[in-house]
Amino acid sequence: MAEGARHAKGSTGVGTETLYDISLTVNGVVREARVPARRLLSDCLRHDLGLTGTHVGCEHGVCGCCTVLLDGEPVRSCLTFAVSVDGHEITTIEGLAAPDGTLSAVQRAFAESHALQCGFCTPGFLCTVTALLNENPAPSDEEILEGISGNLCRCTGYQNIIKAVRRAAELSAEQERDGTGEAAPAATGAAGAPRASGATGGATGE
């Protein structure tokens, strides 16, 4: 879309960029922004929408700090253009806890297990692990390792993150068993709902 209209080119080859109106559902709330085509989703979330919980560690898709859930699936928001997710659902770290502030099982498990130090990579891990456990509520150690192997952490040595994923699976199972489940759905709900209404036509593989 919009080829040839991206730049109103001036004599020096630069000019005012065409801006696009986009509408995203972020953490269950419809948000609107006016962005140039090159605006990264990470920048849109952080700077246009003020959701600074999503962090940017490398801007080339390797570190995983900027991972958010796009229609429930983890994506690198630094490799995603904001205009390309117009109409979609995004979950960020700010949307993982229940509306009343109760931490999700994953968030609680990270605190209990001391799975964060500086906290910079944490938003990416939380989103990644939330998606992982939605897909596979009882992952094996091998599957946990695989599941988090796309996120860098420079502080923890990962040992306690692995522990936290196991613990989060336990906590979720307990909630499931007790029928309380008020914290977990913040993750599953946010991730699950868009799958039904998402624009990808339900091609989620589930």
Partner 1 sequence: MTTSLFGERVQRLEDPRLLTGNGRYLDDLGRDALAAAFVRSPHAHARIREINVDRALDVPGIVAIYTWEDLPERIGEPLPLLIPHPALTHGRTARPLAKDVVRHVGEPVVMVVARDRYAAEDACDRIEVEYEPLPAVVGIENAVRGEHLVHPDVPGNVGAHLVQEVPSADGRSAAEMIEAAPHRLEFRLDIERSASMPLEGRGVYARWDPDDGSLRVYSSTQTSTSVRMAIAAKLGLPLPKVEVIAPDVGGGFGVKIMHPWPEEVLIPWAARTLGREIKWTEDRREHFISSAHERGQVQYVRVGFDDDGRILGLDVTFLHDHGAYTPYGIIVPIITSTQLLGPYKPGAYRVEFSSVYTNTVIVTPYRGAGRPQGVFCMERTMDRIAAYLGKDRTEVRAANFIQPDEFPYDHRLTFQDGRPLIYDSGNYPEALRMLKELIGWDEFAKERERAAAEGRRIGIGIGCYVEGTGVGPYEGGHVQVTSDGRVHVSTGLTSQGQGHQTAFAQIAATELGVPIERVSVVTGDTRRFGYAVGTFASRAAVMSGNAIALACRKVREKALRIAADALEADPGDLTITDGIVHVKGNPSASIPLSTVAVLANPLRYAFDEEAKRATQFATAASDDKPPVAEGEEPGLEGRDYYSPVRSTFAYGMHAAIVETDPETAEIKVLRYAVVHDCGRLINPMIVDGQIHGGVAQGIGGALYERMVYDEHGQLLNASFMDFLMPYATEVPRVETAHLETPSPLNPLGIKGAGEAGVIPVSAVIASAIEDAEGIPIMKMPISPSELFHLRRTASARVG
The verdict on 96 binding partner 1 (CB under 8 A) reads yes
The verdict on 36 binding partner 1 (CB under 8 A) reads yes
The verdict on 177 binding partner 1 (CB under 8 A) reads no
Look at residues 26, 37, 52 and name the one whose alpha carbon lies nearest to residue 3: 37
Q: Would you say 53 or 181 has its CB closer to partner 1?
A: 53
Rounded least distance, CB 139 to partner 1, Å = 13
Q: Which of 83, 116, 171, 184 binds partner 1 (CB under 8 A)?
A: 116
Classify the C-alpha dihedral 205-188-163-117 as positive or negative. Answer: positive
Which DSSP string do the residues of 113-135 spell out, in sequence order?
Answer: TT--SS-SSHHHHHHHHHHHHHH
Rounded least distance, CB 24 to partner 1, Å = 16
Q: Would you say 16 or 197 has its CB closer to partner 1?
A: 16
The verdict on 169 binding partner 1 (CB under 8 A) reads no
Site for partner 1 in 131-150 (CB under 8 A): 145, 148-150
The verdict on 65 binding partner 1 (CB under 8 A) reads yes
Query: Whole-angstrom distance between the N-terminal and C-terminal Cα of the chain?
Result: 30
Residue 56 identity: V
- Say which residues have a Cβ less than 8 Å from residue 96's Cβ, sequence separation at least 6: 103, 104, 106, 107, 126, 127, 130, 186, 187, 190
Do 72 and 204 touch, CB atoms closer than 8 A?
Answer: yes
Binding site for partner 1 (CB under 8 A): 10, 12, 14-16, 36, 38-39, 46-47, 50-60, 62-63, 65, 92-94, 96-97, 103, 107, 110-112, 114, 116-123, 126, 145, 148-162
